[in-house]
Chain A
């Protein structure tokens, strides 16, 4: 019986630990600590070696703080769930090695978790009634993935990006506009002062389920070059770019809902921290489906979602052995690729 799970996540530039505790039949979030490495802002992107070095310094205190807040000792933990991939290998290794040593020294169960599966599970920590079948959109700095989730543990790819991830496009465009890093929050914070007047393209809108953001980024670059006063146009360019991205995301999700017939849409990943995206998506799909978006700390890279996804696998009797390794290109267990099927007569 699993009652207490410690989660550890170090796949990129956040060192995170969380404790989940079973309370009656519910899984409660007892603590979540996320330590972000601000240093990467001066580089305009994550520097892998600096991220790895920082994780070594912070992993111990972060895990200890998560245990302290939850009021549990290491001895009370039943299992340890850790992100095994995908991500930056040097960063992943710190969490994996720390978790393996904890598990071996305490003789507790260990489960390696796929980072993106964590993002799909994240909303259930806030909305325990959220359950498949649903359409999931996972959007972050490294991934843009549209999924048909007929059941926990089964994920059918409907569409994915053919070039830049959505979050990556935000980072690059924020750079073009002289805004900070990470780009998503930087663009959102000025976009609300601007208007969508630049008529930017909506790449691949109305065309299948895949995404492409590279051309949109180039369109912003041209608009910046044409602008006689970028400082003056900054808010309007930000608003125009953000609208273009969110229009495409909304359009694809809408098509996925139509194709699957599902009544629920789940948004996850760092880009889903955007209040604007949640509002646009909910407004567009209002009256047709329920749009579930967790609070930002559960959409950012965090250990709570890793513990929750790990809990699912642990309850199925799965365990990682002492040879668990970090894998920057870890295949997602349960991920299916193939032709997109039409669900006749509603949810399957």
Chain B
């Protein structure tokens, strides 16, 4: 069987899984906000629980954002380190909000809003309608003030999940008519990423590993301030 390693470090609750669309063999979550410390041991442990070694793994699927900038970088830097050694592995990415929505939709039928806290009163938001085999994107991942969810997102979800939903529960209640689903029930699950590998067109193959970086969903605040002040784009940030 061709196995995938899946990882999601977009929020405070990190998740790692090993399996294939035919079945997830192991899944671990960790929540102490020390993803850099916990991620590699969690990967080792998930591999051990799955009874797998690297030779049994054919690819990695990663939730590439949006979410916590630091959390996303921990996941991507770890993936790049693994691929520097195991350069034959396929790398695929999934929007982190889709991974969360898919996990929630296992138990709640109907469109699910996935909301991650983007700080400063904003949320990263997306709405997906899934039935276990297909995904319909009602709202692609976007950044907006939580107070404007109801006004700016055209479809009405049956439930909203994620740390952004919990952080803005009043706005969520007035939008969906229900309490938000927060962690642990409303938490990202890496097993969802594994299952999404079987869904046509929702995972993206990454061929240029060096150029791969998280989908942050928001530019660095310093860049916005600089451009507002100078009235022109920041020079090429790579500047090297």
Contact = CB atoms under 8 A, between A and B. Distances in A.
A90 interface: yes
B88 interface: no
Contacts of B84: 60, 63-64, 74, 98, 101-102
A278 interface: no
B222 A94 contact: no
B81 A100 contact: yes
Interface string B23-46: 000000000001011111101100
B1 interface: no
A61 B240 CA distance: 13
Interface string B184-224: 00000000000000000000000001110110100011110
Interface in A83-122: 89-90, 93-102, 104-106
Interface centre among B43, B86, B238 (most CB of A within 10 A): B238
B44 A104 contact: yes
A35 interface: yes
Interface stretch (A49-57, A164-172, A181-189, A240-248): A49-57
Interface string A220-235: 0000000000000000
B235 A39 contact: yes
Given A56-B73, A322-B41, A101 B36 contact: no
A93 B77 contact: yes
A56 B77 contact: yes
B220 A98 contact: no
B85 A56 contact: no
B220 A100 contact: no
Nearest to A67: B84
Contacts of B235: 39, 42
A56 B81 CA distance: 11
Interface stretch (A22-30, A130-138, A323-331, A339-347): A323-331
Interface residues of A, number: 44
A126 to B, nearest CB: 25
Nearest to B69: A49
Most chain-B Cβ atoms within 10 A of its Cβ — which of A47, A58, A106?
A: A47
B70 A93 contact: yes
Contacts of A139: none
Contact of A60 (B41, B209, B223, B240): B209
A38 B43 CA distance: 35
Contact of B38 (A43, A95, A323): A323
Interface in B38-75: 38-41, 43-44, 54, 69-70, 73-74
Contact of B222 (A43, A60, A74, A322): A43
Interface string B75-93: 0111111111110000000
A247 B99 CA distance: 60
Contact of B234 (A42, A54, A59): A42
Contacts of A38: 239-240
Residue among B36, B39, B221, B235 with most chain A CB within 10 A: B36
Contacts, number: 129
B136 to A, nearest CB: 32
A26 B158 CA distance: 68
B81 A52 contact: no
B237 interface: yes
Given A39-B239, A60-B209, A97-B36, A53 B220 contact: yes
Contacts of A276: none
A106 B82 CA distance: 9
A325 to B, nearest CB: 4
A97 B44 contact: no
B73 A93 contact: yes
B82 A101 contact: yes
Nearest to A36: B240
Contacts of A90: 69-70, 73
B222 A49 contact: yes
Interface in A188-203: none
Given A39-B239, A53-B216, A325 B81 contact: no
Contacts of B78: 97-98, 100-101
B240 A37 contact: yes
B234 A39 contact: yes
B76 A56 contact: yes
7 contacts: A36-B240, A56-B214, A58-B238, A100-B81, A104-B44, A323-B38, A323-B41
Query: When A and B form their complex, which 9 residue pairs have the shortest distance between CB atoms, in order from nearest?
Result: A101-B81, A38-B239, A97-B77, A325-B37, A49-B220, A105-B85, A98-B81, A39-B239, A47-B222
